[in-house]
């Protein structure tokens, strides 16, 4: 076998106490498409950012075509023939395609001459690789798929032999994605090496030659794509580690507390993030929504909890409708008994610079027990926080400590304590154990089961399949904004994995 | 990105770092003095002596500080909601109109202690009104508050010139200013306070609005850290997303914060207009609105930091005037340079010495500054 196009040896990178990459060894053969798969936060993007010079590794070495490479900045990477297509495009919106392509690589002091040179080179590239784009079109007039092509052209124009694509299909329609894969195969046939970062199993199977799986900062396996299966990859990605089987009895579902009917939500670009979703949650049951991150779960949660507008559909809480079109009011929903543990603990569920006790009332700071007229009842707030600290075993036990100084698990307990102690009718929970240590996971799971047994309706969204399977009484699978299937708690991981990967319902049932 | 939450002990954070920043600012300023051929040590002695050497000097220093406390508080309140109100200058200017209108109407019928509360109200109302329009545009239309408040400074200046020249000027007078207020529109001086402490004061403009400024500083502390509104202001300031999650209306918080900020800036006018000049003059604010930004930065937006920072800037103002008088080589502009350096090091470069100081502290007691992560990284 020829020399590896890229070889990483012992790459490690920490952000504070977070070990984003640990001791990663990876070889990428020239002229292949190599997939890197893993959940959000597994360290894929960090690894590629190190390769492209955005970050410096704390330890480890990089070899490009057999030569040791020191990459301090993206220019070093470009000089080594590495090009990157970012998840969020780096294009100047009011420039033409041609202007964007030469930006930073003009080569001449006068724009006119460099543009003329670039034009013929660009035409050659477009011809050779089937990447047709009008060089004089302005970026903002182009659809997303073509904008991505411009990004690829930019990399090729700079002489890239190794092309890294970071979650390239996140913004594409299925047809555009299909076209992208054709282009990638063509680039491979021309001898280019391609690294495809994704969390979508189907894409790995469709287009790669080899695949490496990352989990929690480590590279856990590398396989030849033809010798592996979706099930195996899903298992590697999620990790079987501790099978957290929580002790729980049968559910005794009562009345419908939360009903979502034909809910559709679009993002700012008008892309449907939640597509005609209907679901019901009854008192005394946990409904879990499984799915790979980014398939509309975030938007679904934010819409139900009044933080995001819906395009159409209805949400009913305890028989009364929830306002979805105008200025929604999360406070009103809290009054009506909806508690929300948000996915984004750091930016949404907590204000990290606040003292712990200040976060223990976030969203409920209007309640009589916490205020004296316009003043905060500081003593009551601190006493209340101290009680929750003891009840939920939050450590350290200092209610006046800055929240940022608590560990992830304890931060999550602060949020859970706040929301659960409100005695809500329905509890909406997003990624309850993301970034949480194992000990706290068990505690959090127990509390969620307790809530169910107290007759609360619990809607749980998680990308951790184990979590969904061990907690839920019913499992819904979300893919591309739609609910693509419903299963009981005894569904196998493989079965759910296929649904999560967007494999059709019929196939999955076989 | 390493050790994102590393922190210093409070005394180092709030005492040592400002002190280092200030020292560096003065060293660089000393170099500039050296460059123009004067003795920096002598200049420093003159400056400090001119600011606090005599009772007279202290009274002037505190007079200037009074204005800066108000404008510093105004900027700080807005900062807590991550709004950068640089319109303090205009808001104070228009606040002066509120003070003057009250004084002109009541100075012949009411004693000063009845005019004063009304004038406070007038100053606050007019200052707040001047902040309302930029606040509304920020809240509803997303127009950036920095741009709009700056523009409103210019509009305020033009408006006041028009009013003073065309409307408020007494008939037959040549000066663009109102008539002098009668005794009912004049604030008593505080010279007795310094004299009671054994300082001799001939005549200085220090007046009761200094005490009002201290009360305002306390009330701002109460507002920010002890009220529900202050809690919501800080929440929005740290994390708009969390505020949205908590059901806090961003529009309401922005507008209310800016009204309070504008009111505080407006109250600055009480000090020169009612306390010293006893009439509304053109350009009476003389940059106090902008100094308020530096004061808020240096005071870390906390009243307990703002009051000393305001006094420091009062010293620079007063001591600087003495310096310009004593050393012909140093003009008034030199003082502006020193002020600029203080702002640069205490504000913009606030974090310059922090990492090395943190490293230093970490080497003594690693756990105290949360440096564990850092060590793990380099291990």
A371 assigned to some structural domain: no
Query: Six-digit token pair at A368?
Result: 């009589």
Q: Which residues of B touch A405 (CB under 8 A)?
A: 5, 370
Residues A339, A208: one domain?
no
Candidates B2, B79, B230, B246, partner chain A, best to mutate (most A CBs within 10 A) = B246
| Closest residue in B to A342 (Cα–Cα) | B245
Whether the per-residue pLDDT at B365 is higher than 60: the answer is no
**Run means of pLDDT, 10 residues per run, chain A, 510 residues:** 83 79 92 86 83 88 90 89 86 90 81 85 85 87 82 90 85 70 90 88 88 89 90 74 63 92 89 93 95 84 91 92 78 93 90 95 94 94 95 89 83 94 94 71 88 95 84 93 92 80 59
Residue of B nearest to A21 (CA): B377
What are the residues whose beta carbons fall under 8 Å from the beta carbon of B132, sequence distance 6 or more?
A: B255, B258, B259, B262
Check residue A49 and give its pLDDT: 87
Interface mutation vs chain B, best among A12, A301, A362, A428, most B CBs within 10 Å: A362
Task: Clarify whether residues A52 and A103 are in a common domain.
Answer: yes
Query: What whole-number distance in Å separates Cα of residue A104 and Cα of residue A288?
Result: 48
8 Å CB contact of B241 and A348: yes
HEC assignment per residue over A274-337: EEEEEEEEECCEEEEEECCCCCCHHHHHHHHCCCCCCCEEEEEECCEECCCCCCCCHHHHHHCC
Residue B372 to residue A17, Cβ atoms within 8 A: yes
pTM of the model: 0.75
Q: Considering CB atoms only, which of B228, B246, B373 is closest to A363?
A: B246
> Do A334 and A482 belong to one domain?
yes
The verdict on residue A15 lying in a domain is yes
**Closest by Cα among A348, A338, A364 to A459:** A338
- Give the structural domain span for A187: 6-238
Out of A354, A363, A378, name the one closest to residue B247 (CB): A363
What does the pLDDT read at residue B366? Answer: 45
Please name the member of A15, A358, A363 whose beta carbon is closest to the beta carbon of B1: A15
**Which pLDDT does position B376 carry in this prediction?**
32
Domain ranges (residues) in chain B: 57-316
What is the pLDDT, as a whole number, of residue B191? 87
Q: Is the CB of residue B245 less than 8 Å away from at least one CB of chain A? A: yes
* Co-location of A214 and A261 in the same domain: no
- The answer to whether the CB atoms of B231 and A376 lie below 8 A apart is yes
Domain-embedded: residue A130: yes
pLDDT score of A506: 54
- On the question of pLDDT at B233 being above 70, the answer is yes
Fold of B57-316: ABC transporter involved in vitamin B12 uptake, BtuC (1.10.3470)
Q: What is the pLDDT of residue A41?
A: 63
| Span between the terminal Cα atoms of chain B, in Å | 17
Claim to verify: residue A51 and residue A138 sit in the same structural domain = yes
Q: Of A212, A238, A264, which residue is a domain's last?
A: A238
Q: Are A164 and A289 contained in the same domain?
A: no
Q: Does residue B364 carry a pLDDT above 80?
A: no
- Over its C-alpha atoms, chain A yields an Rg (Å, rounded) of 25
Establish if A187 belongs to a structural domain.
yes
Q: Say if the Cβ atoms of B5 and A404 lie within 8 Å.
A: yes
Nearest chain A residue to B237, by CA: A351
Residue A62 DSSP SS3: strand
Min CA distance, A459 vs chain B (Å)? 18
Using the beta-carbon criterion (under 8 Å), do B238 and A351 form an inter-chain contact?
yes
Instruction: Decide if B239 and A17 are in contact by the 8 Å CB cutoff.
Output: no
Cα of B377 to nearest chain A Cα, Å: 6
pLDDT for residue B372:
37
pLDDT higher at B4 or A223:
A223
CATH of the domain at A21: 3.40.50.300
* Set of chain B residues whose Cβ sits within 8 Å of the Cβ of A358: 231
CA-atom Rg of chain B in angstroms? 22
Distance from CA of A405 to the nearest CA of B (A): 7
The three-state secondary structure class of A447 is helix
Q: List, edge to edge, every strand of the sheet that includes A210-215.
A: A82-85, A162-166, A193-198, A33-38, A210-215, A218-224
Which residue in B1, B5, B242 is closest to A405 by CB distance?
Answer: B5
Chain A positions with Cβ closer than 8 Å to B? 14-17, 58, 306-307, 329-332, 334, 340, 342, 344, 347-354, 358, 362-363, 365-366, 371, 374-376, 378, 402, 404-405
Q: Which of B222, B238, B372 sits opposite A353 (nearest CB)?
A: B238
Domain-located, residue A251: no
At B367, the pLDDT band (50, 70, 90 cuts) reads very low
Is B238 within 8 Å of chain A by CB? yes
Asked if residue A227 and residue A277 are part of one domain, the reply reads: no
**Partner-chain contact A362 B227, CB within 8 Å:** no
Query: Of B5, B231, B245, which has the smallest distance from its Cβ to A307's Cβ?
Result: B245
Q: What is the mean pLDDT of chain B?
A: 88
Are A117 and A18 within one domain? yes
pLDDT at A144: 72
Domain count within chain A: 2
Verify that A134 and A60 share a domain, yes or no: yes
- Per-residue model confidence as pLDDT tens digits over B40-65: 999 999 999 999 998 999 999 999 99
Most confident of A218-222, B191-195, B269-273: B269-273
């Amino acid at each position: 076998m020829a020399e590896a196009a890229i070889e990483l040896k012992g790459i490690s990178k920490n952000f504070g106490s977070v070990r984003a990459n640990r001791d990663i060894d990876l070889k990428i053969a020239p002229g292949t498409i190599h997939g890197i798969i893993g959940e959000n936060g597994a360290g894929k993007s960090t690894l590629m950012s190190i390769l492209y010079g955005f970050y410096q590794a704390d330890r480890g070495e990089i070899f490009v075509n057999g030569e040791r490479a020191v990459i301090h900045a993206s220019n070093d990477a470009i000089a080594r023939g590495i090009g990157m297509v970012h998840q969020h495009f780096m294009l100047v919106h009011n420039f033409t395609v041609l202007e964007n392509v030469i930006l930073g690589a003009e080569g001449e002091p006068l724009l006119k001459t460099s543009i003329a040179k670039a034009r013929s080179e660009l035409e050659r590239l477009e011809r050779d690789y089937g990447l047709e784009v009008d060089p004089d079109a302005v970026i903002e007039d182009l659809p997303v798929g073509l904008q991505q092509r411009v990004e690829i052209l930019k990399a090729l124009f700079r002489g890239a032999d190794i092309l890294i694509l970071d979650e390239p299909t996140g913004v594409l329609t299925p047809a555009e994605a299909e076209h992208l894969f054709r282009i990638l195969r063509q680039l491979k046939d021309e001898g280019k090496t391609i690294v495809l970062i994704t969390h979508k199993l189907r894409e790995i199977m469709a287009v790669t030659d080899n695949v490496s799986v990352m989990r929690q900062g480590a590279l856990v396996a590398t396989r030849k794509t033809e010798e592996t299966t979706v099930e195996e990859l899903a298992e590697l990605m999620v990790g079987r580690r501790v099978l957290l089987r929580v002790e729980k009895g049968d559910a005794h579902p009562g009345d419908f507390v939360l009903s979502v009917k034909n809910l559709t939500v679009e993002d700012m670009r008008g892309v449907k993030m939640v597509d005609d979703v209907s679901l019901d949650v009854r008192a005394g049951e946990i409904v879990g929504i499984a799915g790979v991150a980014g398939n509309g779960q975030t938007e679904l949660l934010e819409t139900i909890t009044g933080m995001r507008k819906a395009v159409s559909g209805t949400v009913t809480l305890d028989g009364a409708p929830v306002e979805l079109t105008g200025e929604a009011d999360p406070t009103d929903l809290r009054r009506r008994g909806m508690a929300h543990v948000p996915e984004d603990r750091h930016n949404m569920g907590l204000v990290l610079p606040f003292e712990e006790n200040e976060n223990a009332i976030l969203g409920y700071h209007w309640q009589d027990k916490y205020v004296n007229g316009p003043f905060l009842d500081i003593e009551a707030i601190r006493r209340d926080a101290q009680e929750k600290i003891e009840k939920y075993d939050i450590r350290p036990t200092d209610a006046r400590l800055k929240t940022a100084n608590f560990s992830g698990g304890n931060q999550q307990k602060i949020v859970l304590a706040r929301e659960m102690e409100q005695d809500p009718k329905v509890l909406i929970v997003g990624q309850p154990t993301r970034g949480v240590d194992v000990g706290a996971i068990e505690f959090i799971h127990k509390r969620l089961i307790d809530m169910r047994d107290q007759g609360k309706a619990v809607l749980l969204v998680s990308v951790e399949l184990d979590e969904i399977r061990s907690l839920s009484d019913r499992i819904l699978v979300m893919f591309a904004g739609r609910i693509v299937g419903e299963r009981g708690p005894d569904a196998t991981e493989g079965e759910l994995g296929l649904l999560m990967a967007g494999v059709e319902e019929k196939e999955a049932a076989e | 990105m390493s050790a994102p939450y590393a922190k210093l002990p409070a005394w180092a954070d709030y005492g040592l770092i400002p002190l280092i920043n200030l020292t560096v600012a003065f060293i660089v300023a000393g170099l500039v003095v050296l460059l123009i051929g004067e003795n920096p040590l002598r200049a420093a002695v003159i400056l400090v002596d001119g600011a606090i050497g005599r009772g007279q000097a202290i009274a002037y220093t505190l007079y200037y500080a009074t204005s800066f406390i108000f404008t510093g508080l105004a900027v700080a309140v807005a900062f807590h909601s991550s709004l950068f109100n640089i319109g303090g200058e205009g808001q104070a200017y228009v606040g002066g109109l509120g003070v003057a209108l009250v004084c002109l109407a009541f100075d012949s019928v009411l004693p000063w202690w009845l005019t004063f509360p009304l004038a406070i109200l007038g100053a606050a109302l007019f200052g707040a009104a001047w902040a309302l329009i930029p606040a509304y545009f920020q809240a509803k239309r997303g127009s950036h508050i920095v741009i709009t408040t700056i523009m409103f400074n210019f509009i305020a200046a033009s408006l006041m010139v028009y009013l003073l020249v065309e409307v408020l000027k007494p008939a037959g007078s040549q000066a663009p200013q109102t008539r002098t207020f009668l005794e009912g529109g004049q604030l008593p001086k505080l010279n007795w306070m310094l004299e009671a402490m054994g300082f001799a004061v001939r005549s200085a403009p220090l007046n009761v609005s200094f005490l009002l400024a201290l009360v305002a500083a306390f009330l701002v502390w109460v507002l920010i850290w002890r009220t529900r509104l202050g809690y919501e202001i800080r929440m929005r300031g740290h994390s708009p997303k969390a505020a949205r999650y908590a059901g806090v209306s961003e529009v309401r918080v922005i507008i209310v914060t800016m009204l309070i900020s504008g009111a505080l800036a407006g109250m600055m006018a009480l000090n020169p207009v009612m306390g010293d000049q006893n009439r509304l003059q053109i350009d009476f604010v003389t940059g106090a609105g902008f100094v308020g930004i530096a004061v808020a930065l240096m005071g870390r937006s906390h009243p307990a930091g703002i009051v000393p920072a305001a006094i420091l800037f009062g010293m620079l103002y007063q001591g600087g005037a003495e310096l310009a008088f004593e050393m012909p080589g140093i003009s008034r502009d030199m003082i502006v340079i020193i002020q600029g350096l203080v702002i640069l090091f205490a504000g913009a470069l606030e974090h310059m010495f922090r990492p090395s100081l943190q490293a230093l502290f970490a080497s003594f007691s690693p756990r105290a500054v949360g440096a564990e992560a850092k060590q793990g990284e380099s291990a």
